[in-house]
Amino acid sequence: MALAEDTNPMQGFKWVGSRPIRPDGFDKVTGRAKFGADLVLPGMLTGAVLRSPHAHAEIVSIDTSDAEAMPGVKSVVTGADFPEPYGKPAEQDVQRNVMAREKALYEGHVIAAVAALTREQARAALGAIKVTYKVLPHVMNVTEAMADSAVVIHDNMITKNVDPAPEAPSNVASRTVFDGGELDKGFAEADVVVEREFTTKPVHQGYIEPHAAVADTTPDGRSTVWCSSQGHFAMRTYTSNVLGWDASRLKVIPAEIGGGFGGKTVIYLEPLAVRLSQKAGRPVRIVMDRDEVFRASGPTSGASLRVKIGAKNDGTITAADVWMAFEAGAFAGSPVGAASMTALAPYKLENFKIEGFDVVVNKPKVAAYRAPGAPISSFGVESVLDEVATKVGMDPIDFRMHNAVEQGDTATYGPKFPVIGFKETLQAIKDHPNYTAELGPNQGRGVASGFWFNAGMNSTATVNINDDGTATVVTGSPDIGGSRASMALMAAEELGIDVVSIKPVVADTETVGFNDVTGGSRVTLATGAAVVEACRIIVADLKARAAKGWDIEADQVEWVDGRAQPIDGSQPAVSLAELAKNWGRTGGPISATYSHNARGVGAAFSTQVCDLEVDPDTGRVTVLRYLTAQDAGRAIHPSYVEGQLQGGVAQGIGWALNEEYIHNDDGVMENPGFLDYRIPVASDLPMIDTVIVEVPNPAHPYGVRGVGEVGIVPPLAAVANAVAAAADRRITDLPLSPVRILDAILNSED
Amino acid sequence: MAEVHFTADLRSFTGGVSDVSVEASTVRQLIRALDELYPGLGERLSEGTSVAINGEIIADATYEELPPDAEVHFLETLAGG
Amino acid sequence: MTKIHVTSEINGDEVEFLTEPNVSLLNALRDEVGLTGVKEGCGTGDCGACSVLLNDELNAACLVFAPEADGAEILTVEGLSDGDHLHPLQQCFLEGAALQCGICTPGFLVAAKALLDKNPDPTETEIRYALAGNLCRCTGYDKIIRAVQDAAAQMQEA
C-alpha cells in the first residue's frame, strides 16, 4: 500500500524521517503482545479491591475475619498490613491513596483487598468484610471547598505561599502567582477589555486498558511485579516506598501498556498485589474493572477560572489577569502550577498577573493528563482572546501573530524563549485550505493556540552489537505510541545499518539502567538522545578497531554509511558486520551504555482550527473539519508524530464536547462507564488534518522536540470558539454538551 | 555574576525584591548565597524546583555550572503526562 | 458449582473447555482457552476491545455467556492471519501506523473484518459507523479509518 504522504522530506538523513513498520507492531496486530492483564503464572490467585462507598468517612473499624474464612480466600490486606505513613508529605499522600487509613477521602478509596482462587470467590469475600464508617460531610468542587464554612478534609493543611501563613487549616493546599508590569496601567491603555468566568469538569485520561498488576512474592521477602505503566522504575520507587522496602527487593517487569496519557505514571494496585502475594505465598493478579478506573484512578482537575484581557485597537495585548482554582482531588497536587505557567506563555505581555489555587475536594487524587493543567488555563485565555480579536476586528490568526512570542522574548513564567516555532504554526494554519473553506448556516470556525514545556529527565540506553553486525537497543522507557520505532530509527541513522537489523527492547528494572517515566513528551528527546550518544560511543570504538587493522590513528578513520574507512581512502572500507565478526581480536564484544539527565528540552507550540456545525434544534455539535499544526522540531517517524497530534486533538474534542465526571449529592460518581462517560467514537470525528512544522531544537542531535502533549492544549478553546461562532453565543462551562448548548440557545432567545 | 529573577511566590522571601545579582559559579553556590541574603530561601529553592539558566530549564540542577552573566530563574518542577 | 462442557470451533480448530454458567465468553477465551488477544476494556459492552465473530456475527465477548458458545464458530484476532501471512487488515494497520498503544487493535481488526465481510467497499461514513462500537483513545481514529479503506481497496483488487 502507499504510505501516508511524506510531510517530512528526509533532509539528508537516511532513516530519520522515514516511516518503517514499527518493530512491536506484529505482536500487536496478532494478539501476541502481553499487556498488564495477560500474564498467567502457575497457581496465580485473583485479587479484588474493596472501595469506600462514601465520599468522606471516618473508618471506625474493619473486620475481615468472615472474609478470610470464605471458600477459596487465601489472603486479605488492610491498612494494618502497610507501614504507618512516613516520609515526605507527597510520599505520605501516595501511601494513603493506595490504602486508606483513618479516613476514606473519596468514593472508590481503597479500604481492603482480597486474593482468592477465582475472581468470583474474591468478589464474594469483599462482601463479607465488615466496615463501620462514620460518614462525614463532603466537598465536591472548588467553590464548596474554598467556602469559609467548608468541612476541612485534612486538618493539617495550611495554605502554602500565602504571606503571612494562615493560622487555620483549609482545603487550599497552596497558592501560586506569576506577574509582571502593572495591571492597572495595562488595562488603562486598552481600547477593548473582555472578562469572562469559566468552569471545567474533571475528565479521565480514558486509556482503554484498565490498571493491572501481577506480583509474585517469595519467602525471602522479594517480589517480582509485572505491571502496565508509563515507567516501571517509577513503579518500583513508589511501590517500595509504600511497602517500606528497599528497591532491590522489587523487580519490575514492564508489560505492554494499553494507553496512559499521564494516568499510568502513578501506582494503585502494585503494593496491594505484593502484600496479598506475600501473605498467600502465591502469585496474585489484580485487574481493575472499568468503574474502578473511573472512581479511583486519576482524572485531571475540574476548575474555575476568571480571565480578563485588554488590547489596543491595533491588536496589541496590554494586560491580562487570570485567576484559577483547580480541584486536586483528595490530596494536594493539582496541575495549577503548570496551568499558570502555560496560560499566557504564547504571548508577549508586559502587564499580567496569574494567580492559581490548589484545592482539595472529596474526589480521586488527580493524576497527570497530557500537558497537565495547560488545556484548562488555555481554554479560558484562548476563549477570551477570541472575543478580543473579534472586538478589535482582527482575524484570529493575525491577532495571535501580532502578539506571538519568538526566540529571545521573555515568557510570562520568567525565562527567555530559545528557538521556538510558534509563529510557524500560525502561518501553517493560515496557509492551509481548511482556513478558508466555506462555512454554511449554523457552522462556525474556531482557532486556538497552546504551549507546553516538555520534559528531559533521566534516561539510560545500552546498545549491544551482535556478532553478525546487527544491534540490540535496550532502554527502560515503556513504548506507548511507537517509541521503539523512533529508537531504532535514530540508532540506524547513527550506526548506518538497516533499521530492521536493529531490535529495540524495553527492559526490566534489573536489565538496564534507570529511566524515568514515559511522560512529559520526553522519550524521543531524552531516551532518544541516550541512544544516539551510546551509538556514537560505539562508532568511536569501531573506528578505533578499524584503525588498528590499518595501523593508523583512530582520528584518521571516518564512519560512512555503516562502514569504517580511512579518510585518505588508502584502504577499502570495512563494514560493521566484518568488525563485529573479528571483535575477539580487537578488544572483545562491542557494547556501550549512556546515561544522562537530559538537557536541551525544546518548547512545543500548537495552533489548531476547528470547523463545526451546531444543530439549533438539538444543540448537538458535529465537527466538520479539524486541522492541527505543531512544531515537532524534527519528526523521527512522521506517522507516529501525526498520530500524537491526532490523538491529542481527539481527546481535547471529547473534553470540550462530551466528557465530565458527574457526581450525585452523596459524592458518588454516577457515570463510571464508557456508556455514560462518553469518549469520542469513530463516528463522532472527521479526519484530523495535520501539519508537522519543523523548527529544529538546536540542543538535540536530530532537532527533536517532544510531541506527545501540546496537541491537547488548544482543542478546548478551538471547539468553544467555533461553537460561539456557529451558535452566536458564548458558553463558558465545559463540556459543551447538547443540553448545555440548547439551554443557551433557548434561554438567550427569550 | 548571575542575574537571578524571582517569581511572585519567591518574592515573599526577598521582601519584594524581584532581581538580584549574585557572585556564583554553580547553582549550589548560588542557592547558598541567596540563602545568606534571604534566610529561608535556600531551603525553599532546594525542594521541587527546576532552574532555568539562560532560558534552558533543567531539573536537578544543583551542580550545574553557571556561565558568566547567566540569567537564572527558579521554577516549580512540573509533572508531564 | 458444576462446570459446563463447551465445544466450539475457535479460529478453525475444534476446542473443548469447561466453564461455569456465569462466566463470560471473554473470560473463558482468555482464562480457559488462553486467547489473551481478546482484551477487556470495560466488561459492559461499551468499548469493543473484546470483539469476536460468533458464527460470523460481530459480538462483544464480554456480553456473551461462555456456554452460549457451545457449537458455535468463533473468530478472534489470533485467527485472522493465515500462518505467517498477515490478513490485509493487519498489514494495512501496520503500514498505516493505525495503532499506538495497541490495546484496542485486536477488537478493531475483528470489527473491521466483520464490516468488510458484509460490505467489501464501504464509504468512510460506513466505516466510521461500523467501528463506532470500538473505542480508541490514542489515534483519533484517522489512521484506523484509512487503514480499513486501504485494506478494502487491496482486497477488492485481489
Residues 13-52 of B with CB under 8 A from A: 52
H/E segment holding residue A503: strand A502-506
Distance CA(C84)–CA(A278), nearest Å, equals 42
Mean pLDDT value across residues A199-219 = 98
Q: Cα A529 to the chain's mean position, in Å?
A: 20
Percent of all residues in chain A with a pLDDT value above 70, rounded to a whole number: 98
- Asked whether the domain spanning C88-157 has the same topology as the one spanning C4-79, the reply is no
**Are the Cβ atoms of A341 and B76 closer than 8 angstroms?**
yes
Helices (H) and strands (E) in chain A, counts: 20, 28
Neighbours of chain B (3+ CB pairs under 8 A): A
Which residues from B are below 8 Å from A453, CB to CB?
A: 57, 78, 80
Bigger pLDDT: A111 vs B46: A111
Specify whether the CB–CB gap between A250 and A317 falls below 8 A. no
**Are the Cβ atoms of B81 and A708 closer than 8 angstroms?**
yes
Specify whether the CB–CB gap between A229 and A214 falls below 8 A. no
Distance CA(A632)–CA(A427), nearest Å, equals 15
What does the angle CA A90 – CA A328 – CA A134 come to, to the nearest 5 degrees? Answer: 85
Residue A289 pLDDT level (bands cut at 50, 70, 90): very high
| Angle between helix A483-495 and helix A528-550 axes, rounded to 10 deg | 20
A292 near C CB under 8 A:
no
Distance CA(A454)–CA(A477), nearest Å, equals 16
**Are the Cβ atoms of C144 and A682 closer than 8 angstroms?**
yes
In this structure, which amino acid lies at residue C39? K
3-class secondary structure, C49: coil
Which CATH number applies to C88-157: 1.10.150.120, 2.60.40.1180, 3.40.50.2000, 2.40.50.140? 1.10.150.120
Q: Where are the domains of chain C?
A: 4-79, 88-157
Bigger pLDDT: B78 vs A338: A338
Mean pLDDT value across residues C25-40 = 97
Mean pLDDT value across residues A555-579 = 96
- pLDDT at residue A750 is higher than 60: no
To test the contact with chain C by mutation, choose from A6, A18, A21, A28 the residue with the greatest count of C C-beta atoms within 10 A, namely A28
Specify whether the CB–CB gap between C138 and A259 falls below 8 A. yes
Phi, psi of A101 (to 5 degrees): -115, -105
Residues in chain A, how many? 750
In this structure, which amino acid lies at residue C74? I
Segment A431-470, tens digit of pLDDT: 999 999 999 999 999 999 999 998 899 999 999 999 999 9
The CATH number assigned to the domain with range A391-454+602-749 reads 3.30.365.10
Strand-strand pairing, A502-506 and A471-475: parallel
CATH 3.10.20.30 matches C4-79: yes
Residues in chain B, how many? 81
Specify whether the CB–CB gap between A241 and A95 falls below 8 A. yes
Q: Which residues of A lie inside 8 Å of B (Cβ-Cβ)? A: 161, 163, 175-179, 205, 261-263, 265, 335, 337-338, 341, 368-372, 413-418, 453-457, 519-522, 597, 599-601, 699, 708-709
ipTM of the complex: 0.98
Give me chain A's average pLDDT, please: 96
For C126, the closest chain A residue by CA position comes to A683
pLDDT of residue C2: 85
Segment A352-394, tens digit of pLDDT: 999 999 999 999 999 999 999 999 999 999 999 999 999 999 9
Distance CA(A116)–CA(A48), nearest Å, equals 8
What is the least distance, in Å, from the CA of A121 to any CA of chain C? Answer: 12
Domains of chain B: 2-76 (3.10.20.30)
Segment A322-359, tens digit of pLDDT: 999 999 999 999 999 999 999 999 999 999 999 999 99
pLDDT of residue A545: 97
Pick from A459, A458, A445, A469: nearest CA to A389: A445
Distance CA(A264)–CA(A249), nearest Å, equals 22
Q: Which three cell numbers stand for residue A509?
A: 528494572
3-class secondary structure, A225: strand
- pLDDT at residue A11 is higher than 80: no
Chain A with chain C: Cβ pairs closer than 8 A: 201
**Burial class of residue A605 (count of CB atoms within 10 Å of its CB; 0-12, 13-18, 19+):** buried
pLDDT of residue A528: 96
3-class secondary structure, A686: coil
pLDDT of residue C57: 98
Q: Where are the domains of chain A?
A: 391-454+602-749, 458-597
**Burial class of residue B11 (count of CB atoms within 10 Å of its CB; 0-12, 13-18, 19+):** middle
B62 near A CB under 8 A:
no
H/E segment holding residue A449: strand A443-452
Plot region of C43 (φ>0 → left; ψ -120 to 50 → alpha; else → beta) = left
CATH 3.20.20.240 matches A458-597: no
3-class secondary structure, A356: strand
Q: Which residue has the cell 472578562?
A: A195
Peptide bond into A9 cis (omega under 30): no
Q: Which three cell numbers stand for residue A393?
A: 476586528
Percent of all residues in chain A with a pLDDT value above 90, rounded to a whole number: 96
For A411, the closest chain B residue by CA position comes to B55
Pick from C87, C104, C89, C91: nearest CA to C140: C104
Segment A140-183, tens digit of pLDDT: 999 999 999 999 999 999 999 998 899 999 999 999 999 999 99
What is the least distance, in Å, from the CA of A29 to any CA of chain C? Answer: 6
- pLDDT at residue C71 is higher than 80: yes
Contact yes or no, C with A (3+ CB pairs under 8 Å) = yes
Lowest-pLDDT choice from A250-259, B49-58, C120-129: B49-58
Among C22, C135, C139, beta carbon nearest to A647? C139
Residue A1 pLDDT level (bands cut at 50, 70, 90): very low
DSSP B28-76: HHHHHHHHHHSTTHHHHHHSSEEEEETTEEESS-TTPBPPTT-EEEEEE
pLDDT of residue B46: 85
**Are the Cβ atoms of A371 and B78 closer than 8 angstroms?**
no
Residue C64 pLDDT level (bands cut at 50, 70, 90): very high
H/E segment holding residue A614: strand A604-614
Q: Which three cell numbers stand for residue A182?
A: 502593572
- pLDDT at residue A711 is higher than 50: yes
pLDDT of residue A749: 53
Distance CA(A23)–CA(A33), nearest Å, equals 12
Per DSSP, what are the bridge partners of residue A363?
A: none
Among A207, A674, A683, beta carbon nearest to C128? A683
Segment A483-527, tens digit of pLDDT: 999 999 999 999 999 999 999 999 999 999 999 999 989 999 999
For C138, the closest chain A residue by CA position comes to A647
**Are the Cβ atoms of A415 and B52 closer than 8 angstroms?**
yes
**Burial class of residue A384 (count of CB atoms within 10 Å of its CB; 0-12, 13-18, 19+):** buried
**Are the Cβ atoms of B54 and A372 closer than 8 angstroms?**
no
Distance CA(B46)–CA(A123), nearest Å, equals 46
DSSP A635-663: -SSHHHHHHHHHHHHHHHHHHHHT----B
To test the contact with chain A by mutation, choose from B57, B58, B60, B66 the residue with the greatest count of A C-beta atoms within 10 A, namely B57
What is the least distance, in Å, from the CA of A205 to any CA of chain B? Answer: 10
Give the CA radius of gyration of chain C: 15
Pick from A428, A443, A498, A509: nearest CA to A476: A509
Pick from A211, A245, A214, A241: nearest CA to A229: A211
Plot region of A360 (φ>0 → left; ψ -120 to 50 → alpha; else → beta) = beta
**Are the Cβ atoms of A709 and B81 closer than 8 angstroms?**
yes
pLDDT of residue B49: 87
Residues 665-724 of A with CB under 8 A from C: 673-675, 679-685, 687-688
Chain A with chain B: Cβ pairs closer than 8 A: 94
Neighbours of chain A (3+ CB pairs under 8 A): B, C
Pick from A210, A211, A684, A606: nearest CA to A370: A606
- pLDDT at residue B8 is higher than 80: yes
For A35, the closest chain C residue by CA position comes to C103
3-class secondary structure, A133: strand
Segment A20-39, tens digit of pLDDT: 999 999 999 999 999 999 99
Segment A597-616, tens digit of pLDDT: 998 888 999 999 999 999 99
Segment A649-681, tens digit of pLDDT: 999 999 999 999 999 999 999 999 999 999 999
Tell me how far CA of residue A199 lies from CA of A307, A450, A734, in angstroms: 11, 19, 6
**Are the Cβ atoms of C86 and A207 closer than 8 angstroms?**
no
Which residues from B are below 8 Å from A520, CB to CB?
A: 78-81
**Are the Cβ atoms of B9 and A599 closer than 8 angstroms?**
no
